[in-house]
Structure 1
Amino acid sequence: MNLDSPRILVLNAGYEPLGLASVKRAVILVMNGTAEVVEESGEYLRTPSTPYPIPSIIRLKRLVRRPPGRLALNRRNILRRDGYTCQYCGKRGGDLTVDHVFPKSRGGRSIWENLVTACRPCNLKKKNRTPEEAGMRLARRPIAPRHSLLLVADLPHLPETWRTYLPDIDHPR
Structure 2
Amino acid sequence: MGAVLVINADLGPLHRVPVQHAIRMLCRQVAEIHEADPDRLIGVFPMPRVVRLVRYVVTRWRYTRGPAWSKSGVLRRDGHRCGYCPATATTVDHVLPRSRGGTNSWLNTVAACYGCNQRKGDRTPAEAGLRLRMTPRVPTWDALGVR
CA displacement at 1:25 relative to structure 2: 2.6
The reply to whether residue 80 of structure 1 matches residue 76 of structure 2 is yes
Gapped regions of structure 2 (runs ≥ 5):
none
1:54 matched residue in structure 2: 48
CA displacement at 1:114 relative to structure 2: 1.3
> Secondary structure in 2 aligned to 1:77?
helix
Change (3 A) 1:28 1:108: closer
CA displacement at 1:89 relative to structure 2: 1.7
Conservation of the 8 A alpha-carbon contact between 1:35 and 1:61: yes
Change (3 A) 1:29 1:101: same
| 2: CA distance, partners of 1:92 / 1:9 | 30
CA displacement at 1:33 relative to structure 2: 4.4
| 2: CA distance, partners of 1:149 / 1:58 | 25
Match of 1:110 among 104, 122, 125: 104
Consecutive aligned runs of 4 or more in structure 1 exceeding 4 Å deviation: 30-33, 48-51
| Aligned-CA RMSD value | 3.7
Gapped regions of structure 1 (runs ≥ 5):
153-165, 167-173
Show CA shifts across 1:130-151 (max 9, x none): 359724232x332233345545
Match of 1:121 among 95, 115, 122: 115
How many correspondences in the alignment? 142
| 1: CA distance, partners of 2:141 / 2:101 | 28
| 2: CA distance, partners of 1:82 / 1:45 | 41
Task: Write the mapping of 1:1-173 to structure 2, written as runs, cut at 5 A.
Answer: 2=1, 5=2, 7-13=3-9, 15=12, 17=14, 19-30=15-26, 33-37=29-33, 40=35, 43=37, 46-47=40-41, 52=46, 54-55=48-49, 57-64=50-57, 67-68=61-62, 69=65, 71-92=67-88, 96-127=90-121, 128-130=123-125, 134-138=129-133, 140-147=134-141, 149-150=143-144, 166=147
TM-score, reference length from structure 1: 0.58
Show CA shifts across 1:140-170 (max 9, x none): 3322333455456xxxxxxxxxxxxx4xxxx
| 2: CA distance, partners of 1:99 / 1:21 | 30
Change (3 A) 1:142 1:58: farther
Tell me the amino acid that sits aligned with residue 75 of structure 1.
Answer: K
Among all aligned residue pairs of Structure 1 and Structure 2, give the percentage whose two residues are the same amino acid. Answer: 32
Show CA shifts across 1:72-115 (max 9, x none): 4232332233333322223225xx32111233344433211211
| 2: CA distance, partners of 1:49 / 1:107 | 53
